[in-house]
């Protein structure tokens, strides 16, 4: 029986953008299974709860049969072990992303020598795109339809109206 390649794509996904979906779709051409794993970044205060982010990801990736959506807390390498994954997938937009991701990859490798990090360059049309930018535009009433799927756009409108 052939071993299936499983990659974990961790992130806050607050909210999921077309850039994230681009990385997920392209990862599906490389890996048998991509686990999109929602987590919290202690340096950020998310707009959406982890459960809401999981639901938005499920809605926006429903056509990708290779994707599993999950959430976790704690060390990524420990989560990877639980999921029998040896690959951590990260998207890169710019040089500053690489600097941060390179450091994270080295640390993850020190924590578990069997973990490999794989980087996918974001499509150039999404280099500028981040969840933070999308939230800021939405909070000022701007149109985010070029940055996120319609399900996310509606969730942003609803969340911001609640205040």
DSSP E strands, the chain:
6-11, 33-38, 67-71, 87-92, 116-121
pLDDT at 1 over 50: no
Which CATH number covers residue 123?
A: 3.40.50.620
Average pLDDT of the chain?
A: 93
What's the average model confidence in pLDDT over 136-158? 95
Q: Which of 73, 72, 76 is nearest to 104 (CA)?
A: 76
Tally of domains in the chain: 1
Q: Which of 65, 50, 43, 60 is nearest to 10 (CA)?
A: 50
What's the average model confidence in pLDDT over 112-130? 92
Among the options 33, 71, 90, 131, which is catalytic?
A: 131
Q: Residue 21: give the domain boundaries.
A: 6-127
What percentage of the chain exceeds 70 in pLDDT? 96
Among the options 4, 44, 82, 110, which is catalytic?
A: 44
Q: Which of 86, 153, 98, 155 is nearest to 122 (CA)?
A: 98
Within-domain flag for 1: no
Within-domain flag for 19: yes
Within-domain flag for 132: no
Within-domain flag for 138: no
Over the stretch 39-76, which tens digit does the pLDDT of each residue have? Answer: 998 888 899 999 999 999 999 999 999 999 999 999 99
Within-domain flag for 133: no
The per-residue pLDDT for 51 is 96
Within-domain flag for 99: yes
Give, in order, the Cα–Cα distances in Å from 37 to each of 83, 146, 158.
11, 24, 24
Among the options 33, 53, 90, 93, which is catalytic?
A: 93
Whether 45 is catalytic is no
Q: Which of 19, 157, 38, 29 is nearest to 92 (CA)?
A: 19
Among the options 20, 33, 53, 135, which is catalytic?
A: 20
Within-domain flag for 14: yes
Within-domain flag for 163: no
Q: Which residues contact 40 (CB under 8 A, 6 or more apart)?
A: 12, 46, 50, 73
Whether 104 is catalytic is no
Whether 62 is catalytic is no
């Amino acid at each position: 029986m052939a071993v299936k390649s499983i990659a974990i794509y961790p992130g806050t996904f607050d909210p999921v953008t077309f850039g994230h979906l681009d990385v997920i779709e392209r990862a599906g051409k490389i890996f048998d299974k991509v686990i999109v794993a929602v987590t919290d970044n202690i340096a950020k205060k998310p707009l959406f709860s982890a459960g809401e982010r999981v639901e938005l990801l499920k809605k926006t990736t429903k056509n990708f049969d290779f994707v599993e959506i999950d959430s976790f807390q704690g060390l990524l390498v420990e989560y990877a072990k639980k999921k029998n994954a040896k690959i951590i997938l990260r998207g890169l937009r710019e040089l500053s992303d690489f600097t941060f991701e390179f450091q994270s990859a080295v640390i993850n490798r020190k924590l578990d020598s069997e973990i490999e990090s794989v980087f996918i360059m974001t499509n150039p049309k999404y280099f500028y795109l981040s969840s933070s930018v999308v939230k800021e535009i939405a909070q000022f009433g701007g149109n985010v339809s070029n940055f996120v799927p319609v399900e996310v756009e509606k969730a942003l409108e609803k969340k911001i109206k609640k205040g």
